[in-house]
Chains A and B, each alone.
Chain A
Amino acid sequence: MNLKLRVWRQHGPDESGRMVTYAVEGISPDASFLEMLDVLNEKLILDGEDPIAFDHDCREGICGMCGMMINGVAHGPERATTTCQLHMRHFADGDTIDVEPWRAAAFPVVKDLVVDRGAFDRIIQAGGYITAPTGAAPDAHATPVPKPDADAAFEAATCIGCGACVAACPNGSAMLFTAAKVGHLGLLPQGQPERGARVLNMVAAQDDAGFGGCTNAGECTTVCPKGIPLTLIGRLNSDYRKALRKS
């Protein structure tokens, strides 16, 4: 396949960037989107140019490192698919593809397509854990968890923290991510003691980080590679209201 790529190039956090056009040739339809960028980077290196910086790690859709805006859609045109799992066969020969980093004040660009998602870590630090004594692992059946709760918690827990929800949100809100974490722990017995404080603190950390407010627009769910459901946002709101009343 031969393609025309327009990629956001930015040397550093404080530099101004621009879209730069590249021609990529001889791409296999079975290559992943990241492999296509690897091919382009090899050529750039041979030509003595600066390769395009992008984040990636597992390349199997489970770490949440990769992620870029492909033709204006977070993680590209395939539903429930990370950028690393997106294959070039979903594009046509001769296509022009625009590639941009996540755009959010809370996710500053480090270089090219790499953004700093440290704001997510600060939300997690504010309450995305359970305080438990360390020691030997408890017996698996020590705390019974009803199967439907376990399933719902697991569904929420599949969030890989990629940030696509923020990138797609017209408000630049991190609500789906925070709701996934709050829901995941709030659905399990182990998460109950800190349930109220957790939701209050995580929402406060999210607001402090400079994310926008949620208006239930639903674009997050559409692009989420893990299909985190919008209903979790209602669960967060409900937990938040109850916690506010008690505090």
Chain B
Amino acid sequence: MATTGILLVLFLYVHMAGNLKIFFGATPFDHYAHWLRTIGEPLLPQQWYLWIQRTVLTVAVIGHIAAATILARRARRARPVRYAHRPKVQGSYAARTMRWGGVIILLFVVYHILDLTTGTLNPVGSPGHPYANVVADFAPHRWYVTLFYALAVVAVGAHLRHGIFSAARTLGQRGARGEHVARVTALVLSIVLVAGFLSVPFAVITGLVN
């Protein structure tokens, strides 16, 4: 859970930072997307690096979901009779929404890849022109797409808020001051990530990027 999760968080940070290139304009952003396909050249043939990364991420996602499924099934077996009276959340809200939150994020990623990687569900869907695709995506009349993106990104933030702290604990973080540091770090990293991701649709809606 922790190892695969950390890998995915690293990807999200790189992805979020890469998205911010959109503020430099269409040419730099499209060039950045093109560059992604040339990483490792001439050692690696074109797009090989990208496919290696995609493979690693897919393996990480599958591992992450497999571990979560095992935990969820063990939890169900460990409490066959439910409580008649049970307040929903006593501890952390983020911790109690990890499973459903994870499912929502997975559905979002599937939609997102069909939208901006393959272009299938994108109104422009032009390969090699992610700038135009993103701008078309978040056009004001497609507010429901923007809303879905925003909800998904906030779900990712909540997931990471507990996930980053939990990974630290699983990997052996054990001091009281360290616990405070781990919790604050998880919160700050989640907020920065959410803000970074949300800045793009926000910029498109407000016309900052068009």
Residues A9-50 near B (CB distance < 8 A):
19
Residues B56-107 near A (CB distance < 8 A):
70-71, 74-75, 77-87, 90-92, 95-96, 98
Residues B151-210 near A (CB distance < 8 A):
162, 165-166, 168-176, 178-179
Docked-complex contact B79 and A100, CB < 8 angstroms = no
Q: How far is the CA of A202 from the CA of B60 in the complex (A)?
A: 30
Q: How far is the CA of A215 from the CA of B101 in the complex (A)?
A: 15
Docked-complex contact B75 and A170, CB < 8 angstroms = yes
> Which B residues lie within 8 Å of A234 (CB)?
168-169, 172-175, 178-179
> Which A residues lie within 8 Å of B98 (CB)?
215
Q: Is A69 an interface residue (CB 8 A)?
A: yes
Docked-complex contact A212 and B78, CB < 8 angstroms = yes
> Which B residues lie within 8 Å of A168 (CB)?
90
Docked-complex contact B90 and A172, CB < 8 angstroms = no
- How many chain A residues touch the partner (CB < 8 A)? 39
> Which B residues lie within 8 Å of A192 (CB)?
none
Q: Is A216 an interface residue (CB 8 A)?
A: yes
Docked-complex contact A105 and B78, CB < 8 angstroms = yes
> Which A residues lie within 8 Å of B70 (CB)?
213
Q: How far is the CA of A237 from the CA of B72 in the complex (A)?
A: 20
Candidate in B77, B79, B95, B98 with the most chain A CB atoms within 10 angstroms: B79
> Which A residues lie within 8 Å of B81 (CB)?
103
A73-B90 contact given A212-B77, A215-B95, A230-B179, CB 8 Å threshold: yes
Q: How far is the CA of A218 from the CA of B182 in the complex (A)?
A: 14
Docked-complex contact B176 and A231, CB < 8 angstroms = yes
Q: Is A86 an interface residue (CB 8 A)?
A: no
Docked-complex contact B84 and A238, CB < 8 angstroms = no
Contact string, A166-177, partner B, CB cutoff 8 A, digits 1/0? 001011110000
Not counting A100-B84, A171-B74, a sample of 19 additional A-B residue pairs whose C-beta atoms are within 8 angstroms of each other reads: A8-B84, A73-B90, A100-B83, A105-B77, A105-B79, A106-B78, A171-B71, A171-B75, A171-B78, A212-B75, A213-B70, A216-B162, A217-B95, A217-B96, A222-B90, A231-B174, A234-B172, A234-B174, A235-B172
Chain A interface residues (CB < 8 Å from chain B): 6, 8, 19, 69, 71-73, 98, 100, 103-106, 168, 170-173, 210-213, 215-219, 222-223, 229-235, 237-238, 241
A-B contact pairs, 8 of them (CB 8 A): A71-B85, A100-B84, A170-B75, A218-B92, A218-B95, A223-B90, A235-B172, A241-B171
Chain B interface residues (CB < 8 Å from chain A): 1, 70-71, 74-75, 77-87, 90-92, 95-96, 98, 162, 165-166, 168-176, 178-179
